[in-house]
Chains A and B, each alone.
Chain A
């Protein structure tokens, strides 16, 4: 090596925690000649010690620092901050864990612990010699956000983002925002007026100068990458210039055509020139070209000349940094459930239709009647789980809100003297104030019948509803005026299409998959794309709003933070070798790679640094910042060269989940073989066959790959890949006459830390029982490796 940097090594005794087991003097003596400076401290993390480190860096002009102490998860950040103050680049600090991994677990084997500490420090020294400076980067991120869907979720997120000062483009496919919530007269559990609480928010959307509201519009195309998406919006032909229209309604008054009103669930009618409901936002009319007869009356009567019957719609282009999906839900088509006769019997309706009937401004003019026959309604049966929790014909999941909204409607009906039965399988009312709401419903005299409705048939002008009355073990036949079905809440076709466009995976149930169902519930699997509300699964308004607030926060965080890019990315290190085969693109679990002009281009925001693409490249063209192949190789070499340990095992471990488990094993003072030498990795998908071969050629007797569970930890998506590779590597080892049992692969969960003792010892004993690997065999492997390199 031409240049050898000045390296300083500190060894901490941690009171007696390290020093009582590890012979620190011996370690110091052994490495003295390899580096510029060695020092031992009683407590390295204490203020005086840290000050000394800083002093010495200055006085001795040290360039790279190795600290042998406790787990980096304890004090790395503190040490890092301080050495950076002395002008040391973050890449030039290595922490060697000689407490959790040595003294605490090899108490009964001080000699082994000492040898192991020494080896680990040697490994760090040779690795740090190969380290290159690392710099976090600034990245351009467009400070604008696209919100798709103007229901309560999209409205809430947009308002919050605009308050924060970000430019928001809110895209709604129908003529007005408001979503499902604006169709309800009252909302559970407080029975407050839904329109009274939502309308002011809708008005704020219209007024906010930061919000570009595009109704009657859809997203057509999304390209680009997180932080910098290019979006094409299809503004559908509306026939009315939204800038000119003053919402006077002249057009509607003169329009001769009537069509079913979507807002009224097709019970009521509207004109072809229409506004969905009086409080629509924007307060702008729309021409429904599917029904328009082009008589031209509206255009002739519009005082603002806002109407253009030849409107063809237009495409608008946007550039945004982040996207929020808030496209909500749809209801399952109940004509699929033939036994309920929906669509055939006039007095069988959906819960959403009932919402409209219960509205004082609804299509029946506040009368409680069967819309199609006009017959007065004095008795109602609610059919819960009408298709939900049904693995046979409906949806397997629970739709979560139907128990509650049915109770809401039942209360409103009881207040008007109607007899109500609710047929249920289980009543689900968890959530704050919800059980109380159930009790109130009982108090109001609603009859709860345990027994799913299985059949409905006409009975004169009424219907006969059959179920079991389980509590009494009897069959029940109930003749009533109206049946209300609660259909499954399902994800829409639109959402499926958008998910493809946005490269956001959906789950089996077609709802958007969360990045992590518990720990990151409003982020999607794609960076820069978030989701809120019923698009991630059935839920009530309260949870929807909470998610919408959360999504706004995530966006702010993303747009602010994403500008700083960690220096841990994969990159095309040897451009000339790459033949553009695209294998790296295929394997990347984060979809961070695109192939441009036959070369991979890495999206540095999306790349998690899992390293999965690097071993995949058949041309050996890729490498990783801060964890280069040469660093890994020299670390292995440093650990194994000239060691006096009788048996040596290199354990590559995933650095978040598994490493933590190993620390916990230390904390619990478990005891395992001191042959185990740990090298942390992002995901084990980073490991190449050559790393394993180097280990064997430099003297390892066994190699372990301890991976975290799939989807756990920051590199979770790559953990499946390592499993497949480990299998290949085992086969490959046989080619080198190394028994495949010398390569161990398993997954470790954090709570598994107790098992580690057994895992390590089992592997140690197994390796020990084998005949040793001959020196010339190791030499052959090395020769072979070097040949491959040439």
Chain B
């Protein structure tokens, strides 16, 4: 079991979460468990507890939050956002934490590969003939030409590309 540690770093980390739009109400969490109990991911993955993420965030426990896959498991379904009686919005807290993790380069491999694909294909996956055939079956037009140049320029200028190991 990792210990809960309090120091200047944990304080600073918490403050940086609170400054991110949508995450301002973090400190109002009264640990009722609504988010966890309604979360579709938590139902399947025992370690994933939105309530615990909020708790760790309140205490600024960066180490614990960043050292595992937890943050990246949220499906972004917004159930917890809708149900939280205190309007803490754990989904937003998780987004905020992901942002902070990203800045530090702590990015989940799946996200990394998605972003690499994005820079390369303009989509998070390559759209080939097979995909377009599938679309046709559903009466959809072929996928439009992606703006690969613009996307990769943005990703380069924002440093995203570097963070995910591209160039």
**Which residue numbers of A lie inside 8 Å of B, CB to CB?**
385, 389-394, 425-426, 450-452, 454-455, 466-468, 470, 473, 475
Given known contacts A473-B52, A475-B43, is B84 in contact with A452 (CB within 8 Å)?
A: no
CB-based contact A452/B34 at 8 Å: yes
Cβ 8 A contact of A451, one of B30, B32, B82, B87? B32
In the assembled complex, the CB of B156 is this many whole angstroms from the nearest CB of chain A, namely 42
**Which residue numbers of B lie inside 8 Å of A, CB to CB?**
30-34, 36-38, 42-43, 49, 51-52, 82-87
Q: Given the complex, which residues of B lie within 8 Å of A391, measured CB to CB?
A: 85-87
Residue of A nearest to B52 (CB): A473
CB-based contact B85/A470 at 8 Å: no
Cα–Cα distance between A466 and B42 once the two chains are bound (Å): 13
CB-based contact A425/B30 at 8 Å: yes
Q: Given the complex, which residues of A lie within 8 Å of B52, measured CB to CB?
A: 473
Cα–Cα distance between A466 and B84 once the two chains are bound (Å): 15
In the assembled complex, the CB of A381 is this many whole angstroms from the nearest CB of chain B, namely 14
Cα–Cα distance between A468 and B42 once the two chains are bound (Å): 10
Given contacts A391-B87, A393-B85, A425-B30, 18 further A-B pairs with CB under 8 A are: A385-B85, A391-B85, A392-B82, A392-B84, A392-B85, A394-B85, A426-B30, A450-B31, A450-B33, A452-B34, A452-B37, A454-B33, A455-B37, A467-B33, A467-B37, A468-B33, A475-B37, A475-B43
Given known contacts A473-B52, A475-B43, is B85 in contact with A468 (CB within 8 Å)?
A: no
Residue of B nearest to A476 (CB): B37
| Number of cross-chain contacts by CB at 8 Å | 54
Given known contacts A470-B51, A473-B49, is B87 in contact with A452 (CB within 8 Å)?
A: no
CB-based contact B51/A468 at 8 Å: yes
Cβ 8 A contact of A390, one of B31, B38, B82, B85? B85
**Prevailing SS type, chain A contact patch:** loop
Cα–Cα distance between A455 and B49 once the two chains are bound (Å): 17
Cα–Cα distance between A648 and B18 once the two chains are bound (Å): 50
CB-based contact B38/A452 at 8 Å: no
CB-based contact A454/B37 at 8 Å: yes
Q: Given the complex, which residues of B lie within 8 Å of A466, measured CB to CB?
A: 37
Q: Given the complex, which residues of B lie within 8 Å of A393, measured CB to CB?
A: 85
In the assembled complex, the CB of A739 is this many whole angstroms from the nearest CB of chain B, namely 41
Q: Given the complex, which residues of A lie within 8 Å of B37, measured CB to CB?
A: 451-452, 454-455, 466-468, 475
Q: Can you identify 24 A-B contacts, CB atoms within 8 angstroms?
A: A385-B32, A389-B85, A389-B86, A392-B82, A392-B85, A392-B87, A425-B30, A426-B30, A451-B33, A452-B32, A452-B34, A452-B37, A454-B33, A454-B34, A454-B37, A454-B38, A455-B38, A467-B37, A468-B33, A468-B37, A468-B51, A470-B33, A475-B37, A475-B42
CB-based contact B36/A468 at 8 Å: yes
Q: Given the complex, which residues of B lie within 8 Å of A425, measured CB to CB?
A: 30-33
In the assembled complex, the CB of A449 is this many whole angstroms from the nearest CB of chain B, namely 10
Cα–Cα distance between A455 and B37 once the two chains are bound (Å): 9
Cα–Cα distance between A425 and B31 once the two chains are bound (Å): 7
Q: Given the complex, which residues of B lie within 8 Å of A454, measured CB to CB?
A: 33-34, 37-38, 83
Cα–Cα distance between A475 and B36 once the two chains are bound (Å): 8
Q: Given the complex, which residues of B lie within 8 Å of A452, measured CB to CB?
A: 32-34, 37, 85
In the assembled complex, the CB of B61 is this many whole angstroms from the nearest CB of chain A, namely 16
CB-based contact B38/A470 at 8 Å: no
